[in-house]
Structure formats: C-alpha cells, structure tokens
Structure 1
Amino acid sequence: MRTATSSLLSAAVPAVAALLVLTACGSEQVGVSGAARPGSGSESGSGSAVPVSDPPVDGVRITSVTIPAATPSPIPSDHVVHADPLPGADSGISAAYEVTNSGTRALTYTVLFEFTTDSGAVMGNHFETVRSVAPGATRRGTVRLGPPAPGSSRVGRVEVARVTRVPAAEAPPAPGVCPPSGIRLTADDGDAAMGLRVVGLRLENCGKRDYPLDGYPRLDLLDDDLAPVHGVRILDGSGGISTGTGFDDPARPLVLKPGESAVSGLMWRNTTEFGTAVDVPYVRVRAKEGAAPVTVTPHLDLGTTGRLAVRAWTREAS
C-alpha cells in the first residue's frame, strides 16, 4: 500500500524535473560594458553569441561573448538528481574578437584575455597571438575559456586585459618554427623576488650551420610606441644590482652547433624613490652585433633605478 508521503514525492519529482528544464533554458546577454546578464529564456541553454560594443584596446576589441546560462541549483534533496558539470567539461564560454592594424607596417599582436566575475575577480586567462597583420587589415578569431578551474566562481565578463604588438619581422617565432636566420631567440616569463627582477633570454641554433657568439646580447629599450627609451644605463654584468646570480661570470667566446643553445638574461630592481618611474614594455634584442633583431615584451618596471644588467651568453647545459 502506498503511503501519502510516497505519493507526494512521486508527484513532486516530475514537477521539479519540469522546473529544471524550464530554468535551464536561456542565454546570457552582454551590454555595452561587456558584463553578462540573464536572458529572457527564449535562447538555447547552450548560450548564444551576443554583440559587445566596448571600445578597442590598442586595436583589439571583443565583438561578441557567449556565456551559457547558469546550471540550476535547487535546494538539496535526497529525491532530486542535480545536474552538476562533469569534471574537465568545457565551460562553453567564449569571445569573438577582431584585431585591426591602423599603423603603417605589419604587426604581430599578443593579447591577454581575462575571464572574470561580474565583480572583476579573474577566473581564467588566455594569451592569443595574431601574426603578421598587414597595415589597414583586420583579423578575427575566437578565444575560449575551456574547462573552468575547480571551485571557481561564475564568469560574467570577458575583457582585453593587455595588448603587445611588435613589428612582424621582429616577432619571436612560433613554438617549433625556425626562422630564416636559423637562430631562434625567445624570452621567458621572468622571476621576481623582493623587488629583484630577472628575465631569461634563450638562443637556439635551429639551423644547419655553426653560430659563433662572443659577449653580450645587444639591446634597444622601446616604449609603447616602439620608440627608444632614454636615461637607462645598460650594464654588462650585474653592475652591483645583485651578486651571486651568475651575471658577473666573464664573457667567453663560444660556438653553437646545430641543436645547441645559449642563455643570457636581464636583471633589474623596481625600486621607486625620487624622480619619475620608468617602464619599458619592449626590448629589441640582437644576439650579437649585426644579427637580425627580435623584439620581446618583458615589461621592465625599472622604477627610478635607471639601470638594467645584462648577462653574457653562456652555453645551456644539455
């Protein structure tokens, strides 16, 4: 014999299921600020691309955002099955963007996109590199969040956080690509501790001929407009900025055979005292005098120190 309680539960389950279906429908709409808000319920639950009218950041702008509707979260019950996202499942969150080069030479853009909550907390980020955008041209693409981090809050915005752009002919090569020079020069993400900053440089002979080195890389410091930055002393060795770092090891001639690599580095402190702080977003690097330049983006926050130390090329340990 069925009890009244079991009859009520049997009737409640279909009703809750229907509620889940109804509330799962809908999409996110994005206003002029790029913030998402719940839709009217007429869209598919997977979300649809909604136009964004935010102004461009250094030639890069988001044109539309797709943020699926929130998964319903009914009050926990022993009689209701919850549709929680599967671990590692794609979030479905994406943004379409366009890059427009208003300059007079081809540029390669590297864009940092941030996926944030409505309050601005960053839940994920992604770098996109758009290579060789011709003058006056516009290139389009899509950036995706992918699987959200466990325990992360709901994403409500996608923003252009930072844009760097370098002459296409001077851009670091794509991973696995050997440039025509046969020499691949790259910079790492750097390390910071107690105001001391270090960025590593790596030079790989990916060509077919030996490559001789003798001394220090040649540097040009550049501002946001890729114009020279003045008033900074470039020092061979540590210059007393910090000891025990290997920057004072003497320069020695060496020859990189195909497949071999050498390392160097930049070191500075970001101390700010009297005067105007100096930031250097771009550094044009030549492996040696007469070598083809490569422009990297270490974002040197030199403070008011006015000094940048350079380490001599040394053979990378195999």
Structure 2
Amino acid sequence: MRTPAPHRPALARTAPLLSALAATALLLTACGTERAGAGNTGADAAEPPSATQVDDPGKDGVRITRLTLPSPSPSPTRSYSVSADSLDLATDSGVVADYEVTNEGTQTLTYSVVFTFMSGDGGAVTNQTATVRDVGPGKTVRGTVRAGQLPPAAPRVTRAKVLEVTKVPASEAPAEPGMCPASGIRVSADQGDAAMGLRVVGLRLDNCGTRDYTVEGYPLLKLLDNDLKSVEGIEILDGSTGITTGAGPDNQPRPVTLGPGESATAGLVWRNTTTSGTPVNVPYVQVRAKAGADPVTVTPNLDLGTTGKLGVRPWEKAER
C-alpha cells in the first residue's frame, strides 16, 4: 500500500512567491527613484554639461571666465511618490558661472557682485549675488556662482554677465549674517522703499555683544562716491520733515540703551526730484552709530536728483 505524501500547507508553498513580490513592490514604490542609469541609452540618456570659456570684459574688476550649462537633451526620467506634506520637484538648474575679482586699488576691499543669468534673447532669467571678502591690493580671487533653482517654465539659460558691483573697505564692510564684530554692534541697511519719488532706507543697529550699548540722537554719516571719495554739497538734515511730511512724524532724539540681543533703527529719507543742474548719485554711505564708533559702509545708492538734501531720522529702539 502506497504511503501518501505529507500534506504541505498552502501558506508554506506560497511564502517564497510572496517575499519576491514584496521586494519588487518595495523597489517600485521607492520615493525619488531614478530610472535612468549607467546602462541608459537613446534619447533619454543624460549628456554631460558643457563648459564654455567666456570673453567677458567684466565690470569694476569683476568678470565671468567660464559658463557651465546642462545638456539641452531630455533629462533622465524620475518617479516620485506624492504625499500630502510635500510636492516639491524643484532641482538645481546646473548652471554655474566661474568668475574672478581683481582689486586694482590700493586698499583691501570686500565686493558684493550681482550676476545675471540670461536666455538666448537677452532677457534676465535670474539674478544671484556673491560676496567676496578681503581682496588685497593687486590680488585676484576666483569663485563660482550657481543660478540655483529655476521654475519649470523658465527659458533656458545660455549666457551670463556681471550686472552690478559694489566694493567697500574690508574693515568697514557690514558683518556677515550671524557674525558679530569685535565691537559687539552690527550695522546694516535694508533694501529701501520708494513711492512717487520719495525714498526711504532703514538703518539697523544690533547689539550682538555681551554688554549694554547706548546711542543717542542721529547716526553720523559720510557720503561717498564710486571711488569712495567724499561727496560734497549735500545738506544732511536732522529728521525727515525737511524732505516730506508723508513719512510720518519724527520722534525727538533720546538716549536708547540696547541690551544684548536688542536692536535700534534709524532711517534715511530723500527725494529724487530733478530740476535744473546735475543730478547727484551717492552709492555709498559711511555710518557711525555714534561718535567714536567703528565706521560701517553701506550701499543704499542714494539718487538725490538735484535736491541737495538728505534727511536722517534718529535712533529708536526696535520692537522685538
């Protein structure tokens, strides 16, 4: 009599198959998986980026030497899992400009450079700013700047140029974000506001040190031209009422004591009215928080027209 074969449970027979299916599903649902790899060929294959030497005369000692552009061919296909928390498919454009900064002056300078990345028709696609610190006289410093993330509908970048250059003495440059000067105070200027020919730029004083710091009255200013030479013939007014009454009332100057971590604000107010005469532009303003304080040179680009006046508002404690 034949002995029957032992009965195997169905689960035992299907376990290997289930394990294989689970592994396959895990691979297929992985977030951000690239399907293009080393063996990918044909139209979807990614080509290496191209680097082009740039014959750029530059501006104020800054010029672009090379521009690296991604291949115009289709990018490798990506698959993404979509969640309720995030749907951000933006990636770096891969556009990189190499540049060099040459200081042809006689003192160590810190540069702020605005680069513009352009499409084939010359339109600006994006601007990026780079700060190059402590460039000594006669020295050349090289660096790179990336165009960064671009919207999906942005035109293809094909070229770049130096749009704007500002340079200040390295010892008077505003501190880097998050850094505190040895003085324990940090002075900066905002981007300003303009309406109907009226200009307002805010000054900010941060006590980033460990001791109280007291100011009283108005910041002390010196107006400088493109060569960092003093600009004469401009009347600096205490308060803004001599410029406009539309910027709000001026408070009377009074002592302001800032504890560590506290801030004060002041303001520059002017009009760009032009009548008879030659308009005056002041790219740089040297600021001292008070007499004896270290100078900091900011770049508000005062387009004073032919008014010959600049109003200064007093220091006031900023709200926290």
Q: Aligned pair 1:153/2:155, yes or no? A: yes
Matches of 1:233 and 1:239, distance apart in 2: 14
Q: Aligned pair 1:203/2:205, yes or no? A: yes
Correspondence 1:50-69 to 2 at 5 A: 50-69=52-71
Deviation track 1:130-159 (CA, whole Å, cap 9, x = no partner) reads 111111111111100111124211211111
Q: Aligned pair 1:20/2:22, yes or no? A: no
Q: TM-score, normalised by structure 1?
A: 0.81
| Percent identity of paired positions between Structure 1 and Structure 2 | 58
Correspondence 1:33-48 to 2 at 5 A: 45-48=47-50
2:107 corresponds in structure 1 to 105
What amino acid maps onto 1:87 in structure 2? L
**Displacement of 1:194:** 1.3
Partner SS state of residue 43, structure 2: helix
Report the CA distance shift for 1:247/1:141 in structure 2 as closer, same or farther (over 3 A). farther
Deviation track 1:177-215 (CA, whole Å, cap 9, x = no partner) reads 000111100111111111111111000111112111110
Partner SS state of residue 189, structure 1: coil
Q: Aligned pair 1:260/2:283, yes or no? A: no
Q: TM-score, normalised by structure 2?
A: 0.81
RMSD: 2.1
Correspondence 1:291-302 to 2 at 5 A: 291-302=293-304
Match of 2:287 among 285, 288, 296: 285
Report the CA distance shift for 1:125/1:98 in structure 2 as closer, same or farther (over 3 A). same
Report the CA distance shift for 1:19/1:252 in structure 2 as closer, same or farther (over 3 A). same
2:18 corresponds in structure 1 to none
Query: Number of residues paired by the alignment?
Result: 273
Matches of 2:232 and 2:121, distance apart in 1: 39
Matches of 1:301 and 1:83, distance apart in 2: 50
Correspondence 1:1-318 to 2 at 5 A: 20=43, 45-72=47-74, 87-246=89-248, 248-318=250-320
Partner SS state of residue 91, structure 1: coil
Matches of 2:277 and 2:114, distance apart in 1: 31
What amino acid maps onto 1:93 in structure 2? V
Partner SS state of residue 50, structure 2: coil
**Displacement of 1:246:** 4.2
**Displacement of 1:118:** 2.2
Structure 1's unaligned 5+ residue stretches are 1-16, 26-44, 74-80
Structure 2's unaligned 5+ residue stretches are 1-39, 80-87
Out of 194-203 and 163-172, give the one that drifted further.
Answer: 194-203
Partner SS state of residue 169, structure 1: helix
What amino acid maps onto 1:184 in structure 2? R
Matches of 1:150 and 1:242, distance apart in 2: 45
1:31 corresponds in structure 2 to none
Out of 220-229 and 231-240, give the one that drifted further.
Answer: 231-240
Checking the alignment, whether the CA contact within 8 Å between 2:116 and 2:127 is kept in structure 1 is: yes
**Displacement of 1:225:** 0.1
Matches of 1:98 and 1:247, distance apart in 2: 47
What amino acid maps onto 1:165 in structure 2? K
Matches of 2:202 and 2:152, distance apart in 1: 32
Matches of 2:263 and 2:102, distance apart in 1: 36
Matches of 1:135 and 1:64, distance apart in 2: 24
**Displacement of 1:72:** 4.9
**Displacement of 1:232:** 1.1
**Displacement of 1:104:** 1.1
Partner SS state of residue 157, structure 2: coil
Deviation track 1:243-301 (CA, whole Å, cap 9, x = no partner) reads 25246211011211111110001111111111111111000000011111000001111
Runs of 4+ in 1 over 3 A off after TM superposition: 81-84
1:78 corresponds in structure 2 to none
Checking the alignment, whether the CA contact within 8 Å between 1:256 and 1:262 is kept in structure 2 is: yes
**Displacement of 1:71:** 3.6
Matches of 1:101 and 1:18, distance apart in 2: 48
Matches of 1:50 and 1:169, distance apart in 2: 36
Question: Which structure's CA Rg is the greater one?
Answer: 2
What amino acid maps onto 2:211 in structure 1? R
Matches of 2:213 and 2:192, distance apart in 1: 26
Partner SS state of residue 312, structure 1: strand
Matches of 2:263 and 2:316, distance apart in 1: 9
